[in-house]
Each structure stands twice: as structure tokens, then as C-alpha cells.
Amino acid sequence: MTERFYELHLIHSNDLHSHLDRMSRISGHIQRFRNNFGIDHVIALDMGDHLDRMDPVTEGTQGRVNVAVLNQTGYDAIAFGNNEGLTFEAHVLQALYDHQARMPMLAANLYDLNGQRPSWVEPYTIIQKGPIKVGIIGVTIDFNTFYELLGWHIREPLAEVADQVRVLRDQVDLLCVASHVGISADRKMAATIDGIDAIFGAHTHHRLDPPEQVGNTWLFAAGKFGQVLGHAQFVWDTHEKKLAHIGGRLIDLGDENAPIDETIDHTIAMYRQESDLVMSGVAMELSVPLHHDASNESLLANVMATQLRRGTEAEIGLVNSGVFLHGFPFGRITKGDLLSACPSPINPCIMLLNGSHILQALELSLDETHIQKSLMGYGFRGKVIGTLAVDGLLIQADRNQPVGKRIVSVEVNGELLNLERKYRVGTIDLFTFHVAYPSIGLGTTIEYVLPDFIRDWLASACQSEELIEQASNQKWKFI
């Protein structure tokens, strides 16, 4: 005789960002659930941003280490995060998810520029667990300004989810969304789209403990970096053919008694050996050291500003020194050294920027309180914002004056800065999110340079001794 109530445990993770040291604990917990309740009672789901190229093993293996541990852990499905989509080129994604991954990659709203889904993407998956048929729709955030430069078009997430709900609702008993669009969009999704039982969230690194109910939909999320693991419980009434209970909790993975899957660590160690060989390759050779100082003008940041100006054929180059974590000695610099100093997956860009907005940014870069602020997200992997490094400008300043009135004069290529004029500026995409230096974010006619990262441009710049010599000229002079 069939038991009346059937329990399903959905274990969920999100936004690991290549904190691979957490994967042995995540896998250990998932295996414990399978051992305790049976494989037909457990689903494992990841909501994206598992890969992060700031990690040398992920970088050195082009993400293959991440997919290997997802395979080994036995995830039933994974969702597509912007960190996967915006930092890896199409051929790499195809190799990872079409050839290596043993679980479906879900992204209902991901299309190429011809309106076709790539071969490695599925809009949804249906998983049978005992008497319960579970439908899972995947959706990712629509950063189309960037995605379309990489050959993708991301359709509006909620509209695509609504379309897929109409397709799936009558086919499944439990309908879930694996969402990488953030908490605000998840709440709107729950409030405006009927028929969704549960949304498993990501992107904004939020924790929901206990889960949040919006209308008839339950929202779940497990923070970031594998600090916690999500456990959602569904109880299915086999007589009434409906859900009798939904609940959830977050599991602290810092517990010393947490189960550990040592085979995951062995797999990571194997890929680390491969990565070490790649990352030990020479990225650049320096005839002079490039010193770094986040609070003051330094050669490393100046080289970057000069390369941004040259590479975009701009009048001015601007970059915040906080994108670097350390400088370089002279001699051979490996790919690992370069990644260690500049881990941020930030792209160059070009914009038109008013002289008045340039002046505001320069003033702010002399505010010690501001330049020592930390910043999270937007691709930034530094510790502090840092001061502005420039090229094409000659600035005189007086630190004895009040904050906001310290700039005495600014010359642009030999002429006084015109506060009313728009200048062509080579800079970084970070500023276009209106963070770090908000006035730079007011630039117009923005063109992003993808898939290049600024560390790629730095390595290229350091091949030119003439560029380094130009960057060594003092740009900031203090009275």
C-alpha cells in the first residue's frame, strides 16, 4: 500500500563564485540526504554564478573544475548566472555545458542573436521523484548591453517565465523556478505569475531563513560563497494529489561536524595541478617594477590609465587604483601573478563625459574616507575603491583645502578643462553602474569592449617600454 504522504527534499546552492573549498561540505550534505532519505526523495539544484574567474583554478581550467565538481556532487540541474555568461566566451560555454556537464543547464530566456537557444541550454527540465513530477524552469538576468556584444540576447525574465509556466503547469505536480534575477524580481515574479510553487533565488546574494511566502509561492535563497546550503521540504499528499506542506531552512556549513566528501577535494587538487601549469605561464616581462598604492598616484594604475586611453583612442584615461591588489617586481610576471593583482572581471569601455563630471570625480578621489571604502559586486574584486589614476590630464591640487575644493587646476592635453565640454574617455565598465565614482557613471554614448578584461589590456600595455615611460610622468601635482 502506498504511503499517503511523500517527502521531497530539494537541496539548493547559489552564487558560490568559485569558493571551491566549500564544495566538499556541500557534496557531503547532499550525499547524507540521499543516504538518509533515498535518492528518489532528493533533488540538488544550483542557481548559477558557480564559476568565478578570480579563482586561479577556475581561470586555469576555463571552468572545467567547477563543472567536474557539479557532476561529481550529482546536481540534477543548474541555472545560468551572469558570472558564467559575461566572463566566458561562447565556445567555452559550449565545451562546459554541451560536452562536459552531466546535468541540464537551465536558462529559458537565453537566445543567440538569431533568436535560437544554444544547444547547451534548456528552458526547463522535468524530474520524476517517486509519485511527484517536478518541473524546474531556469531564468537569468537580462544584462543585454553586455550580452549582445558576446552574441547573446536575454529576453525579459518574467515574461519568459510566464510563458514556460503556461507550458508546464498542467504537466507537473510541483513547479519551481531556478532564478538568477535577484530578490526584487523574484518577489515580483511570485506576485504576478500564477502557478509557481517555489522560486529558488540567486544573484543578489540574499538569504531567506525561513523561506518567504508571496501569495501562493514560496521563495528560497542561500546567500553566497557556500557559507550555507538551502534545504526545502515538500510534502505531497498522494491521495489528494496536492502539496500538503512546504518548508525550508538554511544549513550552516561552518559546523565542524558537517559531513565532508573527500573525493571532491581530490578532484579539485587534480585540476589544480593542471591549472598551476597554465597559470605559471608568462603573462608579461617588466624591465622596471610597477609599484602600487591605492591611496596615491602609482605607476601600475598609471599604466592602466594610459592603456585605456590609447586602446580606446580617447582624450582621457581614467581608472580607480583599487582594481589592483598589489604591484609587480621587474622580470617575468606569470598569468597567476597577473590574476592575483587584478582579479576583477572588469571590461574596458569608452564614453563621452562632461568636464564638470570629470572634475567631480577628481575631487572625490582626494577624499581619503571615500577611497578607503570597500565595494562589493559589479565585477569588483578589490579591497578598497582607491584613488583615480589618469592619463591625458595634468592636475594641480591642494590637500590643505576642504574636501570638494582641493583641485586648483586641470589641463587636458595642454588645455584647461572645459566644464561644459564632453570629452572622449577611456575607462572601465565598473563606473557605468554608478558606483565608486558616480559622476563618471553619467557618461553617455557608452561602448563596452568585450570580451577583454582590463588585466588583458594591462599585459598588452607592459610590452611597450614607451608606454610605461609615458605613464611614469607625474599626473598629480600637489601645492
Give the integer Cα–Cα distance in Å for 19 and 356: 42
Q: What is the pLDDT of residue 3?
A: 83
What percent of the chain clears pLDDT 90, i.e. is strictly above it? 97
For 11-22, how does the pLDDT look when each residue is reduced to its tens digit (9 = 90+)? 999 999 999 999
Cell numbers 586611453: residue: 309
Give the integer Cα–Cα distance in Å for 55 and 290: 23
pLDDT-derived band at 389, boundaries 50, 70, 90: very high
Name the class of domain 5-276. Answer: alpha beta
Q: Give the single-character DSSP code of 398.
A: -
CB 238 within 8 A of CB 35: no
Give the integer Cα–Cα distance in Å for 259 and 25: 6
**3-state SS, residue 296:** coil
Distance of CA 29 to the CA centre of its chain: 25
Q: What is the pLDDT of residue 1?
A: 40
pLDDT-derived band at 476, boundaries 50, 70, 90: very high
Q: Give the single-character DSSP code of 477.
A: E
Residues 326-346: what's their mean pLDDT? 97
Query: Does residue 211 surpass a pLDDT of 50?
Result: yes
Query: Does residue 146 surpass a pLDDT of 80?
Result: yes
β-bridge mates for residue 249, sequence order: 231
Q: What is the pLDDT of residue 383?
A: 96
Give the integer Cα–Cα distance in Å for 145 and 347: 13
For 224-275, how does the pLDDT look when each residue is reduced to its tens digit (9 = 90+)? 999 999 999 999 999 999 999 999 999 999 877 889 999 999 999 999 999 9
Instruction: Name which of 324, 264, 265, 268 is nearest 57 in CA terms.
Output: 268
Q: Which DSSP string do the residues of 433-476 spell out, in sequence order?
A: GT-SSGGGGG-EEEEE--S--HHHHHHHHTT-HHHHHHHTS--E
Cβ neighbour number for residue 444 with a 10 Å cutoff: 9
Query: Does residue 205 surpass a pLDDT of 80?
Result: yes
Query: Does residue 93 surpass a pLDDT of 80?
Result: yes
Backbone angles phi, psi at 175, to 5 degrees: -115, 120
Cell numbers 563606473: residue: 431
Could you tell me where the DSSP H helices lie in 95-171? Answer: 144-147, 157-168
| Domain limits, the chain | 5-276, 282-478
Query: Does residue 367 surpass a pLDDT of 70?
Result: yes
Q: Return the C-alpha cell found at 6.
A: 511523500
Q: Return the C-alpha cell found at 152.
A: 547573446
Query: Does residue 96 surpass a pLDDT of 50?
Result: yes
Residues in the chain: 479
Residues 453-466: what's their mean pLDDT? 96
Residues 59-72: what's their mean pLDDT? 98
Cβ neighbour number for residue 347 with a 10 Å cutoff: 23
Residue type, 66: N
CA dist 306 to 316, 446, 461, Å? 8, 19, 8
What percent of the chain clears pLDDT 70, i.e. is strictly above it? 100
Residues 93-114: what's their mean pLDDT? 98
**Class of residue 168 by CB neighbours under 10 A (exposed 0-12, middle 13-18, buried 19+):** buried
Which one of 3.30.565.60, 3.40.50.10860, 2.40.30.200, 3.90.780.10 gives the CATH number of domain 282-478?
3.90.780.10
Residues 193-205: what's their mean pLDDT? 98
- The set of residues, in sequence order, having a beta carbon less than 8 Å from that of 10 and lying 6+ positions away, is 42, 43, 44, 45, 176, 198, 200, 231, 232, 233, 234
Query: Does residue 401 surpass a pLDDT of 80?
Result: yes
Cβ neighbour number for residue 105 with a 10 Å cutoff: 23
Cβ neighbour number for residue 165 with a 10 Å cutoff: 19
Q: Give the single-character DSSP code of 285.
A: E
Crossing angle of the two packed helices 299-311 and 454-461, in degrees rounded to 10: 100
CB 309 within 8 A of CB 474: no
**Class of residue 379 by CB neighbours under 10 A (exposed 0-12, middle 13-18, buried 19+):** buried
Cell numbers 541550454: residue: 121
Q: Return the C-alpha cell found at 280.
A: 605559471
What radius of gyration do the chain's Cα atoms show? 25
CB 321 within 8 A of CB 476: no
Query: Does residue 2 surpass a pLDDT of 80?
Result: no
| Average predicted confidence (pLDDT) for the chain | 97
Residues 326-337: what's their mean pLDDT? 97
